[in-house]
Chains A and B, each alone.
Chain A
């Protein structure tokens, strides 16, 4: 789309939306939010970017093919479930670690890695659909 306003406004909007999507993803552990909705926000950001600068630019910006991102997310989610095997607890049990980084206790868990996996799956799958639809619209 050849709109100067959109092209000027898109980069900051997209940046803020991507940041917000990560915030929603991490917030989702104990409050409303999570990987699915975070992923959808990220997809919305990428779609805006695509509308402003074209599909090719988005494909270059995300480096990997969207479906490869999906695959990585799916693998991460599966592995987060399988980690339980090492600790002799059932599949997908929540496992926690509290490493101290720079004097600050950071809670990490397999629940979170699972959620990041979901985030990547949603980003990859929905981006792939959105981009192919946008491509159709362009020609």
Chain B
């Protein structure tokens, strides 16, 4: 078999050098997830095989993403184009440190989720296709983090959205259908907004490659309505990320599916929106982001406060956590609003922390429900007395999500507050601290009522003993949170250089268009 040779001279349009083996890491996470998802679809009825394959495959995915992160940290952004066509003609996958960090964290979260699902998803859930949907969801998430083409980003958004539909209605309870209707319609509007913005972008730029857009934006700034375009993108991604006032799909749906599904959604979906927002507003349109920064800051404050206040008002622990997810999104938006490498680094760090901790919190709520017999704070009680280890882990997570040292939530909060004060936005720093304080009250109350208070008379009780395996996912995520909190130096260095690459994307551009190539 030979690579086709064509009479027409295409050497200016094709990749002719052989591709280095390490460059394949750019595409492998996505191809791997799709391939394994396909295999799992074919063996859908082998209920016992499904979790084995999925957990092994996700462990490999963590490995792939870790090596990818190492490779990118060593040698800068890496690019691979589809089908030998040089960018901007071919669809490019370009990975910089930001994408690699997000992809690795997402893979860790998915692996932990798959392990937790062994317990939580029963035989009919497996037959319905939990694991294939999970793998396809991961393909969408990884693709969104690794792609370098804005239309391709849209396609990965849709892949993950359709898989998330499948996961959301898994079990087909009436609540799930109700939640899925709201989730489905509002997310459809969000992705359609994204598509509309991309249509305009293509009309203005005539290209969809992100590096090409970043390169051409300075010349078009005077003639094209780029601020409007950026506003469109910010609206679309803010809706995906559940920022106030377009956040209402999240508390309407996140508490309805199986708890593992809620945990995965809380860890993965909104953070993809934040990643896309960072990518587009910071790397592609930094000047326009500056123009809109006050709007983003106001939205950020409102998101933080509605999230925190909403969580104070909830009785159902899952809905309470849903509002905490929203509050965290506000903190990340604050970083984007401030701008500059430090604040963006803070937003990235907060997103990574939130992926780990929110997943863990949902899993903890699931375990609390198994032990205490429900999700309602009115009935829960007495967990501390019977399950001290579980209580300790939960308390650590409550501290982490409130941003207290020595857990992973502390450092991003410090970075964000410091950069807010440096940029003279004291009110933003105040809102960040206030949101943290309110979060602490909300989670503290959960701790008092569900764990510390004696068991309630006459309320339903769950199983008395927890199998040690069930604590493993929680233990892994909490350990990661503590380790990040105690030894943040390596991660901080990576995040700093990731934020610098976003702020000054010449390395990214060089990776797509090597110096000296035709414009």
Chains A and B touch (C-beta atoms under 8 A apart): yes
Q: Which residues of A contact B (CB under 8 A)?
A: 65, 67-68, 70-75, 78-79, 81-82, 85, 87-97
- Contacting A at CB under 8 A, from B51-104, are 80-84, 90, 93
Q: Which residues of B contact A81 (CB under 8 A)?
A: 31
Would you give the shortest CB distance from B481 to chain A, in whole angstroms?
A: 35
Complexed CA–CA distance, A70 and B35 (Å): 12
Cα-based distance from A65 to B82 in the complex (angstroms): 32
Given the interface pairs A81-B31, A87-B3, A90-B15, the reply to whether A67 lies near B41 with Cβ below 8 Å is: yes
Distance of A115 from chain B, by nearest CB (Å): 13
Q: Which 4 A-B pairs have the closest CB atoms?
A: A71-B41, A74-B38, A88-B18, A75-B38
Residue B34 at the chain A interface, CB threshold 8 Å = yes
Give 6 pairs: A residue, B residue, CB < 8 Å, sorted on A: A71-B39, A90-B81, A95-B3, A96-B2, A96-B4, A97-B1
List of B residues within 8 angstroms of A89 by Cβ: 3, 15, 18-19, 84
Residues of A within 8 A of B31 (CB): 78, 81-82, 91
Q: What residues on B are CB-neighbors of A74 within 8 Å? A: 34-35, 37-38, 41
Given contacts A87-B3, A93-B83, A95-B3, contact A71 B24 (CB under 8 A): no
Q: Nearest B residue to A121 by beta-carbon distance?
A: B38
Interface centre among A67, A79, A91, A95 (most CB of B within 10 A): A91
B27 at the interface (CB under 8 A from A): yes
Residues on the B chain within 8 Å of A94, using CB:
4, 83-84
Interface membership of B129, Cβ < 8 A: yes
Contacts of B3 in A (CB 8 A): 87, 89, 93, 95-96
Contact B27 A91 (CB under 8 A): yes
- A78-B38, A90-B81, A90-B84 known; A96+B19 contact, CB < 8 A: no
Q: How far is the CB of A48 from chain B (nearest CB, A)?
A: 26
Chain B contact residues (Cβ within 8 angstroms of A): what range? 20 to 34
Closest chain A CB from B27 CB (angstroms): 5
Q: A89-B84, A95-B1, A96-B2 are in contact. Are A72 and B24 (CB under 8 A)?
A: no
Q: Which residues of A contact B93 (CB under 8 A)?
A: 91
| Inter-chain contact B1/A90, CB cutoff 8 Å | no
Residue B44 CB within 8 A of the other chain: yes
CA gap between A65 and B323 in the complex, in Å: 40
Chain B hits for A67, CB < 8 A = 41, 44, 129
Q: How far is B90's CA from A106's CA once the two chains are assembled, in angstroms?
A: 28
Which residue of chain A has its CB nearest to the CB of B86? A90
Shortest Cβ distance from residue A35 to the other chain B in the assembled complex, whole angstroms: 15
A44–B194 CA distance with the chains assembled, in angstroms: 32
Measured between beta carbons, the chain A residues less than 8 angstroms from B80 are 90-91
On chain B, the residues within 8 Å of A97 by CB distance are 1-2
A71 touching B83, Cβ below 8 Å: no
Q: Which residues of the other chain, B, contact A93 by a CB distance below 8 angstroms?
A: 3, 83-84
Among A70, A88, A90, A92, contact of B41 (Cβ-Cβ < 8 Å): A70
Residues of B within 8 A of A70 (CB): 38, 41
Q: Are B82 and A92 in contact (CB under 8 A)?
A: yes
Contacts of A92 in B (CB 8 A): 82-83
Contacts A90-B82, A91-B27 aside, 7 further interface pairs with beta carbons under 8 A come to A67-B129, A70-B38, A71-B37, A71-B40, A71-B41, A91-B24, A93-B84
In the complex, B42 has a CB within 8 A of chain A: yes
Q: Which residues of A contact B42 (CB under 8 A)?
A: 68, 71-72, 75
Q: Which residues of B contact A68 (CB under 8 A)?
A: 41-42, 44
A72 to B34, CA, bound (A): 11
CB-contact partner of A90 in B38, B39, B83, under 8 A: B83
Most buried by B among A68, A85, A89, A94: A89
Q: How far is the CB of A40 from chain B (nearest CB, A)?
A: 18
**In whole angstroms, how far apart are the Cα atoms of A89 and B39 in the complex?**
25
Most chain B CB within 10 A, of A74, A87, A90, is at: A90
| Chain A residues in 8 Å Cβ range of B35 | 74-75, 78-79, 82
Chain A CB within 8 A of B132 CB: yes
A79 to B31, CA, bound (A): 9
CA distance A73 to B41 in the complex (A): 10
Interface flags, B1-43, vs A, CB<8A=1, else 0: 1111000000000010011000010010001001101111110
Q: How far is the CA of A73 from the CA of B2 in the complex (A)?
A: 25
Distance of A93 Cα from B132 Cα, bound (Å): 27
Write out the residue numbers on chain A whose beta carbons fall within 8 Å of the beta carbon of B2: 96-97
Instruction: Return the chain B residue nearest A99 by Cβ.
Output: B1
The residues of B that contact A88 with a CB separation of less than 8 Å are 18-19
C-alpha spacing A65/B18, complex, angstroms: 41
B136 to chain A, nearest CB (A): 9
List the A side residues contacting B1 at CB < 8 Å: 87, 95-97
- In whole angstroms, what is the CA distance A110 to B27 when docked? 18
Q: List, in ascending order, chain A residues with CB within 8 A of B90's CB.
A: 90
User: Considering only CB atoms, which chain B residue lies closest to A68 in the complex?
Assistant: B42
Q: How close is B147's CB to chain A, nearest CB, in angstroms?
A: 12
Residues in chain A near residue B39, CB distance under 8 A = 71, 75
Q: Report yes or no: A71 in contact with B81, Cβ–Cβ below 8 A.
A: no
How far is B1's CA from A94's CA once the two chains are assembled, in angstroms?
Answer: 11
List of B residues within 8 angstroms of A96 by Cβ: 1-4
Q: Give the complex CA separation of A69 and B24 in angstroms.
A: 28
Among B463-504, those with CB < 8 Å from A are: none
**Bound-complex Cα distance A71 to B34 (A):** 9
Chain A nearest Cβ from B40, distance in angstroms: 7
State in angstroms the CA–CA spacing of A50 and B135 once bound together.
31
Do residues A72 and B84 form an inter-chain contact, with CB atoms below 8 A? no
| A71-B132 in contact (CB<8A) | yes
A73, A78, A87 — most chain B CB neighbours (10 Å) = A78
Q: What residues on B are CB-neighbors of A85 within 8 Å?
A: 24
CA distance A96 to B3 in the complex (A): 6
